[in-house]
Amino acid sequence: MAAHKFPDGVKDYRALVTGGYRFVDKTMMIRDVCEADDMVILCTRPRWFGKSINLSMLDYYFNRERAVTLDSQGHGAAA
Ligand SMILES: Nc1ncnc2c1ncn2[C@@H]1O[C@H](COP(=O)(O)OP(=O)(O)O)[C@@H](O)[C@H]1O
Ligand SMILES: [Mg+2]
């Protein structure tokens, strides 16, 4: 059985999706953020929950020059 590569300590979304890691696709969270009517979103979750990577994902999504695209297999590539 092939060994899986997990993203221990990775903080950057591009590194997460382009580094050949196993990762959980949380991109639907972008829609939740866009549809939220709130001025502030408070995320009270413990360490290592993925808060920083989620913020990094939003940063790449909303900053075109930092865009990351995924192919149909979910593999990431710089735009
Ligand atoms: N979507 C994800 N898929 C797989 N592993 C993840 C994912 N998000 C976070 N992790 C793992 O959790 C670790 C902690 O994520 P991080 O965003 O730094 O958490 P927090 O900011 O909440 O402490 C990452 O280094 C990575 O190993
Ligand atoms: Mg953090």
* pLDDT at residue 79 tops 60: no
Tell me the pLDDT tens digit for each residue of 3-43.
889 999 999 998 999 899 999 999 999 999 999 999 999 99
Residue span of the structural domain in which 64 resides? 13-78
Cα separation, 17 vs 23, in Å, equals 8
Q: Quick one: which atom of ligand 1 is closest to the CA of 45? A: 22
Q: How many domains does the chain have?
A: 1
CA of 3 to the centre of ligand 2 (A): 27
Which pLDDT score, from 0 to 100, does residue 3 have?
Answer: 81
Q: Quick one: which atom of ligand 1 is closest to the CA of 56? A: 17
59 falls within a domain: yes
Identify the residue with better confidence: 1 or 57: 57
42 falls within a domain: yes
45 falls within a domain: yes
Give burial (CB, 10 Å; 0-12/13-18/19+) of 79.
Answer: exposed
Tell me the pLDDT tens digit for each residue of 36-71.
999 999 999 999 999 999 999 999 888 867 676 766
